[in-house]
């Protein structure tokens, strides 16, 4: 297909992460001809989500020592005399220190395969050539004896043969099937009933420990139920991304769930943080007086700017010191500092803390009782939603399409074209390149920070309640000075990111060491490794680990453009994911770059609604029918699931 690509565009975007995808959508919406390419076989770059087999393939890719040598036709000869080339990197170096642990028992007798295995990203988004997606599925090379080199097995059996089988079989499957993941009804296929039989929910755990064993083969088999995010983020319900999704109407491509609770880890115990008015009212752990204190303080934070006399004297000290001066019990101080302002003892001053608290409260109640939303099927959906928008307005998409170099005109010092893997020269006016695509030559002066990440599959929630479908966020403060707070996000199966009976837990912090060194202490505090020898009757308090993954990801978010060597002015850099909780960074970046490319253009205006173009006579009827749709949607969707277009504002 590559030879069919037009040879001229207005904007070429390299990399399909969130900022790149937003820009691509915005440019396409404004009438620019957009080519959007990614050298990977999936959308999202480091913003992607994977099924279980998908993540195994992804891991393998990063653990292969040799470069994927994919030498296309030599590009050097295409460079003319008045031109020079900026070679792009072949290999992604953003992921390091990958370590995988499997604790679930490996059942050798069972034939394992991932039902309908297919990395869902491939099929879900409009592609210029639908078959491209199918061919791009992971194909581990035959001679590879074990897909995960550094896999440390804590159980007696070795997983290797099992894993291998799993992947081989899934390979066979993959090539034959083209399953569309957006066909949501098909997700509730027969296999789900099967799951519920084999894997009782956590509630059964204590009573019948035998039945609760989730084996590795089950995880493999149900691998399609997983959507494992490389980057763990949430959407602030009044954050820039939500505003953008609503404004651009991209929200219709995605569904969201409200985070159901905010947790805190204090004195070895996980407890729920009451943060909304309803939470405080319903809380059983706060005394009456604490309720009043907390409400009073939070009410003050909502409009702290109006009462400067209350905080002016404390501007110079840290927020945690300031909290001590307020009428708050230590209990409440901890909640406000770590779980609501989500800062640390030393990190922020009074004003920052008040600002963060206000932002948290401001987001509360728009869609539910917490300030956060999570996209169903994972964070990786979001870049794809914007790509879809881009494609709707004519953007052209090529995955597994790498770019060998940027061609720069010597005289004007402007980039004029790219040369792709097939040696095709494609001209464009603007070039957006995601940081990881630059070669070491370009980045030699860049100082990167790192994000420590861990992904766990567990068998129960860190805080059991009546409902086993909770989505929680928990902040564990850094223990020693200089270490960073760890953000824990626990997803239940109704977020469509893990199989029934399991929880998918994401840990994130700014790196000070390797991911495992940074995060393992927290993992050990909250979870216990799954072991075979466990006594049947023992009441296990902590959730058990079935599977764990650690890795470091490069954080290119606050790299100044000037630190890259010799970039022509029409080459713009997009950063990879940052370590923050929200997505504001990506949206800000996208909007800033878009304004450079298309000055004075509206950023992602709503697309014209076909229903808006109607003759006078119809107007009444269509309004009525729309109203009915909204109400029905409200009554039918499960309570927690939020429909973005129609925010239910708290009526206070």
Q: Label residues 540-570 b or e (16+ Cβ within 10 Å = b).
A: beebbbbbbbbbbbbbbbebeeeebeebbeb
Segment contacting other proteins by CB under 8 A, of 81-89, 106-114, 174-182, 619-627: 619-627
> Which of 493, 467, 457, 464 has the alpha carbon at shortest distance from 206?
464
> Which of 466, 513, 506 has the alpha carbon at shortest distance from 486?
506
- Least distance between other proteins and beta carbon 651 (Å): 7
Q: Classify strands 472-476 and 261-266 as parallel, antiparallel or unpaired.
A: parallel
Distance CA 241, CA 590 (A): 11
Query: Do 46 and 578 contact (CB within 8 A), yes or no?
Result: no
Residue 50 or residue 367: which is nearer to other proteins going by CB? 367
Residue 277 or residue 414: which is nearer to other proteins going by CB? 277
- Binding of other proteins by 80 (CB under 8 A): no
- Binding of other proteins by 616 (CB under 8 A): no
Distance CA 590, CA 19 (A): 5
- Binding of other proteins by 628 (CB under 8 A): yes
Distance CA 96, CA 449 (A): 12
3-state secondary structure of 396: strand
Cα atoms found within 13 Å of the Cα of residue 439, Cβ hemisphere only: 12
- Least distance between other proteins and beta carbon 329 (Å): 12
- Alpha-carbon distances of 7 from 3, 28, 561, rounded to whole Å: 9, 17, 28
- Least distance between other proteins and beta carbon 626 (Å): 10
Segment contacting other proteins by CB under 8 A, of 255-263, 374-382, 608-616, 631-639: 631-639
Query: Do 167 and 53 contact (CB within 8 A), yes or no?
Result: yes
When binding is defined by CB under 8 A, the residue of 139, 596, 624, 633 that contacts other proteins is 624
When binding is defined by CB under 8 A, the residue of 145, 535, 560, 651 that contacts other proteins is 651
- Binding of other proteins by 293 (CB under 8 A): yes
**Site mask for other proteins (CB under 8 A), range 564-603, x = bound:** ----------------------------------------
- Alpha-carbon distances of 627 from 62, 585, 636, rounded to whole Å: 50, 35, 14
- Binding of other proteins by 622 (CB under 8 A): no
- Binding of other proteins by 307 (CB under 8 A): no
CB within 8 Å of 214: residues ≥ 6 apart: 104, 199, 459, 501, 502, 546
Residue 335 or residue 527: which is nearer to other proteins going by CB? 335
CB-count burial class (<10 Å; 0-12, 13-18, 19+) for 586: buried
> Which of 214, 194, 230, 128 has the alpha carbon at shortest distance from 436?
230
Segment contacting other proteins by CB under 8 A, of 136-144, 284-292, 538-546, 566-574: 284-292
Size of the residue set binding other proteins (CB under 8 A):
24
- Binding of other proteins by 285 (CB under 8 A): no
> How does DSSP assign 597-640, residue by residue?
HSTT--SSPPPPPGGGS--GGGHHHHHHHHHHHHHHHHHHS-TT
- Least distance between other proteins and beta carbon 316 (Å): 28
- Binding of other proteins by 445 (CB under 8 A): no
- Least distance between other proteins and beta carbon 535 (Å): 39
Q: How many distinct helices (H) and strands (E) make up the chain?
A: 20, 25
- Binding of other proteins by 289 (CB under 8 A): yes
3-state secondary structure of 587: helix
Maximum C-alpha span of the chain: 79
With residue 298 as reference, give the H or E element that holds it: helix 288-302
- Least distance between other proteins and beta carbon 645 (Å): 15
Radius of gyration of the chain (CA): 25
- Binding of other proteins by 467 (CB under 8 A): no
When binding is defined by CB under 8 A, the residue of 150, 281, 479, 513 that contacts other proteins is 281
Residue 172 or residue 627: which is nearer to other proteins going by CB? 627
Copy the structure tokens of residue 394.
């004519």
- Binding of other proteins by 627 (CB under 8 A): yes
- Binding of other proteins by 620 (CB under 8 A): yes
Segment contacting other proteins by CB under 8 A, of 62-70, 286-294, 504-512, 568-576: 286-294
- Binding of other proteins by 295 (CB under 8 A): yes
Distance CA 387, CA 381 (A): 10
- Least distance between other proteins and beta carbon 327 (Å): 8
- Binding of other proteins by 652 (CB under 8 A): yes
> Which of 122, 13, 143, 166 has the alpha carbon at shortest distance from 547?
166
- Least distance between other proteins and beta carbon 614 (Å): 17
**Site mask for other proteins (CB under 8 A), range 317-356, x = bound:** ----------x-----------------------------
- Binding of other proteins by 282 (CB under 8 A): yes
- Least distance between other proteins and beta carbon 365 (Å): 10
Segment contacting other proteins by CB under 8 A, of 68-76, 170-178, 292-300, 389-397: 292-300
Query: Do 110 and 214 contact (CB within 8 A), yes or no?
Result: no
Residue 69 or residue 620: which is nearer to other proteins going by CB? 620
When binding is defined by CB under 8 A, the residue of 91, 252, 277, 414 that contacts other proteins is 277
Angle between helices 52-63 and 160-176 (to 10 degrees): 110
Residues lying near other proteins in the complex (CB under 8 A) are found at: 277-278, 280-282, 288-289, 291-293, 295-296, 327, 620, 624, 627-628, 631, 634-635, 648, 650-652
């Amino acid at each position: 297909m590559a030879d069919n690509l037009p040879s001229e565009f207005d904007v070429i975007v390299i990399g399909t992460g969130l900022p790149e995808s937003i820009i691509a959508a915005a440019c396409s919406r404004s009438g620019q001809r957009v080519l959007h390419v990614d050298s990977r076989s999936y959308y999202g770059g480091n913003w992607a989500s994977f099924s279980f087999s998908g993540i195994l393939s992804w891991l393998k890719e990063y653990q292969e020592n040799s470069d994927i040598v994919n030498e296309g036709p030599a590009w050097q000869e295409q460079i003319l005399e008045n031109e020079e080339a900026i070679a792009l990197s072949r290999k992604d170096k953003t992921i390091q220190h990958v370590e995988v642990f499997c604790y679930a028992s490996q059942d050798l007798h069972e034939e394992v395969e991932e039902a309908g295995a297919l990395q869902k990203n491939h099929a879900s988004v409009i592609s210029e050539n639908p078959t491209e997606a199918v061919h791009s599925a992971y194909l581990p090379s035959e001679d590879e004896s074990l897909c995960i080199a550094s896999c440390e097995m804590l159980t007696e059996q070795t997983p290797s043969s099992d894993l291998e089988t799993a992947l081989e079989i899934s390979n066979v499957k993959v090539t034959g099937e083209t399953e569309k993941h957006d066909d949501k009804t098909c997700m509730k296929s027969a296999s789900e009933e099967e799951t519920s039989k084999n894997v009782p929910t956590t509630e059964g755990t204590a009573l019948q420990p035998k039945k609760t064993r989730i084996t590795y083969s089950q995880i493999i088999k149900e691998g399609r139920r997983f959507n494992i995010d490389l980057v763990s983020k949430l959407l602030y319900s009044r954050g820039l991304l939500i505003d953008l999704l609503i404004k651009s109407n991209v929200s219709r491509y995605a569904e969201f769930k409200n985070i159901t609770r905010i947790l805190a880890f204090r004195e070895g115990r996980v407890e729920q943080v009451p943060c909304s008015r309803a939470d405080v009212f319903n809380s059983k752990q706060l005394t009456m007086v604490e309720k009043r204190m907390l409400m009073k303080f939070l009410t003050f934070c909502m409009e702290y700017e109006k009462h400067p006399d209350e905080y002016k004297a404390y501007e110079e000290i840290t927020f945690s010191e300031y909290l001590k001066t307020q009428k708050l019990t230590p209990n409440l101080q901890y909640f406000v500092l770590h779980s609501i302002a989500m800062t640390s003892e030393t990190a922020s001053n009074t004003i920052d803390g008040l600002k963060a608290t206000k932002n948290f409260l401001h987001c509360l109640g728009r869609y539910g009782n917490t300030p956060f939303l999570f996209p169903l099927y994972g964070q990786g959906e979001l870049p794809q939603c914007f790509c879809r928008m881009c494609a709707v307005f004519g953007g052209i998409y090529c995955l597994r399409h790498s770019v060998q170099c940027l061609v720069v005109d010597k005289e004007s010092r402007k980039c004029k074209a790219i040369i792709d893997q097939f040696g095709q020269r494609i001209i464009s006016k603007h070039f957006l390149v995601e940081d990881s695509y630059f070669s070491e030559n370009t980045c030699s002066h860049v100082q990167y920070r790192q994000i420590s990440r861990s992904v766990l599959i567990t068998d129960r929630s860190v805080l059991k309640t009546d409902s086993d479908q909770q989505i929680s966020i928990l902040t564990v403060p850094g223990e020693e000075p200089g270490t960073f707070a760890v953000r824990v996000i626990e997803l239940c199966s109704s977020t469509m990111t893990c199989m029934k009976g399991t929880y998918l837990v994401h840990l994130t912090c700014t790196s000070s060491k390797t991911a495992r060194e940074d995060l393992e202490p927290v993992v050990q505090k909250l979870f216990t490794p799954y072991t075979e020898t466990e006594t049947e009757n023992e009441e296990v308090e902590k959730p058990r680990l079935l599977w764990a993954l650690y890795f470091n990801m490069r954080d290119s978010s606050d790299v100044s453009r000037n630190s890259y060597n010799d970039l022509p002015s029409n080459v713009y850099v997009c950063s990879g994911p940052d370590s923050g909780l929200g997505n504001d960074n990506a949206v800000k970046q996208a909007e800033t770059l878009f304004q450079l490319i298309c000055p004075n253009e509206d950023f992602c205006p709503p697309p014209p609604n076909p229903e808006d173009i109607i003759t006078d006579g119809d107007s009444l009827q269509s309004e009525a029918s729309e109203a009915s749709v909204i109400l029905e949607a409200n009554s039918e969707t499960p309570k927690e699931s939020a429909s973005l277009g129609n925010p239910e504002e708290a009526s206070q």
